Amino acid sequence: MYFLLCYPISKRCNSLLGAGDWVLGKNDFNPQSPIPNPQFPIPNSQFPIPNPQSPILMTQKILIVDDEPNILILMEQALEALEDEGVELLTARNGEEALETIKAEKPNLVFLDVMMPKMNGLQVCHIVKHDLQMTDIYIVILTAKGQEFDKQKGIEVGADLYLTKPFRPKEVLEKSMQVLGF
């Protein structure tokens, strides 16, 4: 006999899986240890172990890219409520670091400054959307360059949204929640 014990991964993940509060796998069973709910036996064949690469179990990620430390801190503070929902916040300080992080981590959402060392944000956006064909990554250009020409250039390279600094933290949080499905 096996029991199912669900550790809270996140509220969203638990609700998607229909899971309770505890998960106990067959290798974790110890007859000497107390069982949280002995009236909930589930044979292994009725409840397959989910694939860790399943989109339901994968952590959602937001990458914040800016060479200005104060902006990184402000953005992290604006988005910290999403960490409680299991969202991982990543940061990069230049275009090259951003591109490496995007390739390795495949974030769901990227907030990208334009004027940065090593590679500017427009170049990063173009490489991600066109060269790497990572069109499922939602890219928000977040920059002080607010002229209509600049906005048009951002859209041309593949940005999904163009916001100018100074920005409202509440707007950043709301957009993030919308993109991530919260």
pLDDT in tens, 87-146: 999 999 999 999 999 999 999 999 999 999 999 999 999 999 999 999 999 999 998 887
Tell me the CB-side half-sphere exposure of residue 138, using CA atoms within 13 A.
13
Q: Which amino acid is at 1?
A: M
The span from the CA of 46 to the CA of 28, in Å, is 18
- Residue whose entry in the numeric block shows the structure tokens 């509440």: 170
Buried-state track 151-170, b at ≥16 Cβ within 10 A, e below 16: bebbeebbbbebbeeebeee
Could you tell me how many residues make up the chain?
182
pLDDT digits 0-9 by tens, 58-102? 689 999 999 999 999 999 999 999 998 999 999 999 999 999 999
At 87, list the tokens: 């969202």
With beta carbons less than 8 A apart as the criterion, state whether 14 and 8 touch.
Answer: yes
The pTM assigned to this predicted structure is 0.69
User: Which of the two residues, 152 and 48, has the higher pLDDT score?
Assistant: 152
Q: Which two tokens stand for residue 150?
A: 């600049």
